[in-house]
C-alpha cells in the first residue's frame, strides 16, 4: 500500500525573549525542537528566526521564530503554547509574493498579505 508523506506546515511562534535564543541557527533548531517536544510531545522540523538581521533582533526584547510541524499536529499548537514560562501565540505562516492578494487591503504583494 502506498502512502503519501505529509509535508511540513510552517508556524510562527511569537514573543520569544531574545536573551534566551542562541546565536547559532543549529542551536536554535535544537532549542525550539526540545521545547515543543517537552511542551506538547510533538516532533518539529527546521526552525529559523523570522528576522534574518541578527543585529536587529538582538536589540529587541522579543522576537518570532518560524518552525515546521506535521500538518496533522497544527490544531494542537494553535492558537498558542506555554513555553519559556509564558504563553506564546502561534499562527500559521502564509507565503506571499507579488501575485498574492491581501485579505485586508486587497492590494497585491507581500507587504499587505
pLDDT profile of the chain (113 residues), mean per 10: 60 90 86 91 88 79 90 91 92 76 67 55
Nearest to 63 by CA among 34, 104, 97, 31: 31
pTM of the entire predicted model? 0.75
Which CATH number covers residue 21? 3.30.70
pLDDT for position 3? 45
Whether residue 67 lies inside any domain: the answer is yes
pLDDT for position 24? 82
Q: Can you read off the three cell numbers belonging to residue 91? A: 499562527
d(CA 57, CA 26): 17
Whether residue 25 lies inside any domain: the answer is yes
- Let me know how many helices (H) and strands (E) the chain has, helices first: 3, 5
pLDDT for position 108? 65
Q: Where are the alpha helices (DSSP H) in 43-93?
A: 54-58, 74-77
Based on the structure, what is the number of domains in the chain? Answer: 1
Whether residue 23 lies inside any domain: the answer is yes
Rg of the chain (C-alpha set):
15
Full domain range(s) for residue 46: 9-92
Amino acid at each position: 500500500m502506498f502512502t503519501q508523506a505529509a509535508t511540513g506546515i510552517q508556524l510562527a511562534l511569537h514573543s520569544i525573549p531574545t536573551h534566551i535564543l542562541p546565536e547559532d541557527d543549529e542551536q536554535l533548531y535544537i532549542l525550539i525542537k526540545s521545547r515543543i517536544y517537552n511542551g506538547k510531545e510533538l516532533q518539529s522540523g527546521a526552525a529559523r528566526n523570522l528576522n534574518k538581521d541578527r543585529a536587529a533582533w538582538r536589540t529587541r526584547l522579543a522576537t518570532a521564530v518560524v518552525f515546521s510541524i506535521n500538518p496533522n499536529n497544527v490544531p494542537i499548537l494553535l492558537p498558542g503554547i506555554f513555553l519559556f514560562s509564558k504563553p506564546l501565540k502561534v499562527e500559521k505562516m502564509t507565503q506571499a509574493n507579488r501575485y498574492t492578494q491581501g485579505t485586508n487591503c486587497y492590494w497585491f504583494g507581500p507587504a499587505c498579505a
